[in-house]
Amino acid sequence: MVSDKVEESLKHVFIQVEQMQKSLELIVAKTGDVNSLVNEITAASREQSQGIEQVNIAVSQMDKLTQTNAASAEEGASASEELNAQAISLREAVTDLLALVGGKTGDAAPPRMSLPNRSILSLRHPGKTLSPCGHNREHMGSPRSSGT
């Protein structure tokens, strides 16, 4: 009887030890699975961090380009204003020049650009006559009448 009871106790102990061993093996396996998942999460987080860093770099570069484009646009607008002012000044100079050579001034419309008078051209290029498009032509024979 005592030996039966000892034997029965030992069977229960062995059964419990086997169950404990299986539980520990299952815990070790699940711990390995969790460790693999943590490693995957770490790698994904690292990749995501690198991706965010690249996005930040791209946004920074786009910001710099936007600032450069804005500065270029401001420079272009300033140059346009300057050219406009120079065009107005040039128009006034042409109007004054036309007044000096006998052209009409005071018209409401802006002055028309016309070809210079041949007599003015002959002052600048004595001995040569310029064609209406401004090319030099040597006098051949008698000089042409320029109307002055």
Confidence of residue 117 (pLDDT cuts 50, 70, 90): very low
Identity of the residue numbered 147: G
Helices marked H in 101-130: 118-124
Residue 51 has pLDDT above 90, yes or no: yes
Q: In whole angstroms, what is the distance from residue 122 CA to residue 138 CA?
A: 11
Q: How many residues does the chain have?
A: 148
The structure tokens listed for 61 are 């570069």
Task: Provide, rounded to the nearest whole percent, the portion of the chain with pLDDT above 90.
Answer: 59
Which of 106, 105, 129, 126 lies closest to 115, judged by CA?
129
Are 101 and 117 contacting, i.e. CB atoms less than 8 angstroms apart?
yes
Confidence of residue 6 (pLDDT cuts 50, 70, 90): confident
pTM: 0.44
Are 120 and 130 contacting, i.e. CB atoms less than 8 angstroms apart?
no
